Amino acid sequence: MSTDIQQQNKLSIGEVAERSGLSVHSLRFYEREGLLLSTRIARDEGGRRRYSEVDVEWLYICTRLRASGMPIAQIRRFAELVRTGPGNEHERLDILKEHQQRVVSQMEHLNDCLEVITLKTNVYENYLNRNEPEQTWENKSLTPTNTDNDKLCQ
């Protein structure tokens, strides 16, 4: 059983929800899916979840991985590797580098999309200000040169 001092250093699920920006439901989901470092979150005498600062820090990492598009299965695998301890750092690095490259590719594509949107915004603003009362939709210079990633711009 935990001492009072140990319990004072633990956070309730509500406190973690507030600090992490996740809902209580999402925290339970993360636990159920095996995404946390602890395979079982500590509980107090009343059976209520008690989280540590390490849990909160890990949740921050998980939410950033998830928000950047890492699939749940990959986050789970990454958490499993971290829980296992030293000796699998190369596999952890591979997971992170693969995801990093996906994020960089997404960002490059989104920057291309943003350039098109910015160009078209300027065309419409100029049109509405009567500075350039020309075509607002047709613009031959916007023809995509890379059709592989056009889906995100549509």
Residue reference for tokens 């291309």? 112
In this predicted structure, which of 10-19, 93-102, 137-146 has the lowest mean pLDDT? Answer: 137-146
Residue 79 predicted with pLDDT over 60: yes
Residues 85-107 have pLDDT tens digits of 999 999 999 999 999 999 999 99
What is the SS3 string spanning the chain? CCCHHHHHCCEEHHHHHHHHCCCHHHHHHHHHCCCCCCCCCEECCCCCEEECHHHHHHHHHHHHHHHCCCCHHHHHHHHHHHHHCCCCHHHHHHHHHHHHHHHHHHHHHHHHHHHHHHHHHHHHHHHHCCCCCCCCCCCHHHCCCCCCCHHHHC
In this predicted structure, which of 10-19, 31-40, 115-124, 129-138 has the lowest mean pLDDT? Answer: 129-138
Residue 1 predicted with pLDDT over 60: no
